[in-house]
Amino acid sequence: MLGLKTSWSLTAAMIALGLAACGGEKAAPAAASAASSASAVSVDAEKKEIKIGTTAGDFGDMVKDSIKPILEKQGYTVTLTEFNDYVTPNKALAEGAVDVNVFQHKPYFDSFVAENKLDLSVGFQVPTAPLGIYAGKLKALADIKDGASVAAPNDPSNFARALVMLNELGWIKLKDGIDPLKASKQDIAENTKNIKIVEVEAANLPRAREDVDFAVINGNYVLTSGMKLTDSLYQEPSYAYVNWGAFRTPDVKSKWAQDVVAAYNSDEFKKYALQKYPGYKYPVDWKVEANGTATASAPAASAASASK
């Protein structure tokens, strides 16, 4: 994967150098800009191949089982790349290796894009397996003991979620007035049970259960490992972490991008997701009823209100 990533960076650098060389010509800059814009629109209008990147597991399955067939009926060729980490997908999107990615919640997206100065925007929400606490050496929450170990995702955003869950369970107490989306170990006011929080790469958390008493695991990795969401001892109650699909910002209003958004909000995909993924948290605009059914298609949850 590192080889591919380096290749993308080199390609981007070569393109940048080419553009810089063209920029040395001072004649008719406005005309050149207009020509460039017209060319981009023309290419976009003819775009028929959509490259989707997801983390391995349910998001990839959604593409293969439902989204790809929906888009192919419209004449698109859809290719899927599955990643095994939370860093590469956004960099791949920014560098053009994929056209859209699906794997992250909004707090993580905002933090990553700001830190890496990427020109990306969210476009639609997707059904999301919730974060949960799963048994390791200890099999029930009531078995918690002094000095117990808890494995948690090591990326800042998901680690903050884990701390909030431990706070809700009363295993730790967070300081008053902190931003729960940015909670860190320094924000722990009390650790009366002397919980040992072990930070682990998210994809490795299911295996880490063998070495700790409990593990806080992202839903997609629960399913990838063959575990069940119903095996969780406690699930995150918040809906703030329903995941989003993201685009490069200049592509958001393109026809192909809007077709992707429509596919993820189509009645066909809703029916598939509600049957295949019970227990998930669903996009806000789906307006899922108590009986598990969804109302007619609604526009994607407002990317404008959630964009960076």
Spatial CB neighbours of 101, under 8 Å, sequence gap ≥ 6: 52, 53, 54, 89, 90, 92, 93, 245, 246
Domain 2-6+47-128+242-306 CATH (choose: 2.102.10.10, 3.40.50.620, 3.40.190.10, 3.40.50.2300) = 3.40.190.10
| pLDDT score recorded for residue 57 | 87
Q: Among residues 51, 44, 48, 50, which one has the least CA distance to residue 98?
A: 51
**pLDDT tens digits, the chain, 308 residues: what are they?**
434 333 444 344 433 333 333 333 333 333 333 333 333 333 456 899 999 999 988 899 999 999 999 999 999 999 999 999 999 999 999 999 999 999 999 988 998 999 999 999 999 999 998 999 999 999 999 999 999 999 999 999 899 999 999 999 999 999 999 999 899 999 999 998 999 999 999 999 999 999 999 999 998 899 889 998 889 999 998 888 899 999 999 999 999 999 999 999 999 999 999 999 887 889 988 987 544 555 443 333 333 333 33
Whole-prediction pTM: 0.66
Residue type present at position 71: L
**Inter-CA distances, 21 with 14, 18, 25, 26, 245, Å:** 11, 5, 8, 11, 35
Q: How far apart are CA 306 and CA 10, in angstroms?
A: 32
What is the CB neighbour count within 10 angstroms for residue 96? 13
Residue identified by tokens 């419209």 is 74
Q: How far apart are CA 299 and CA 307, in angstroms?
A: 16
Q: How far apart are CA 290 and CA 40, in angstroms?
A: 45
| pLDDT score recorded for residue 126 | 97
| pLDDT score recorded for residue 161 | 94
| pLDDT score recorded for residue 18 | 39
Q: How far apart are CA 82 and CA 64, in angstroms?
A: 11
| pLDDT score recorded for residue 288 | 78
| pLDDT score recorded for residue 45 | 60
Domain residue spans of the chain? 2-6+47-128+242-306, 132-235
DSSP assignment, residue 93?
Answer: H
Work out the end-to-end distance of the chain between its first and last CA atoms, rounded to an integer number of angstroms.
28
| pLDDT score recorded for residue 44 | 59
Three-class secondary structure of residue 221 per DSSP: helix
Same fold, 2-6+47-128+242-306 and 132-235: yes
In CATH terms, the fold of domain 132-235 is: D-Maltodextrin-Binding Protein; domain 2 (3.40.190)
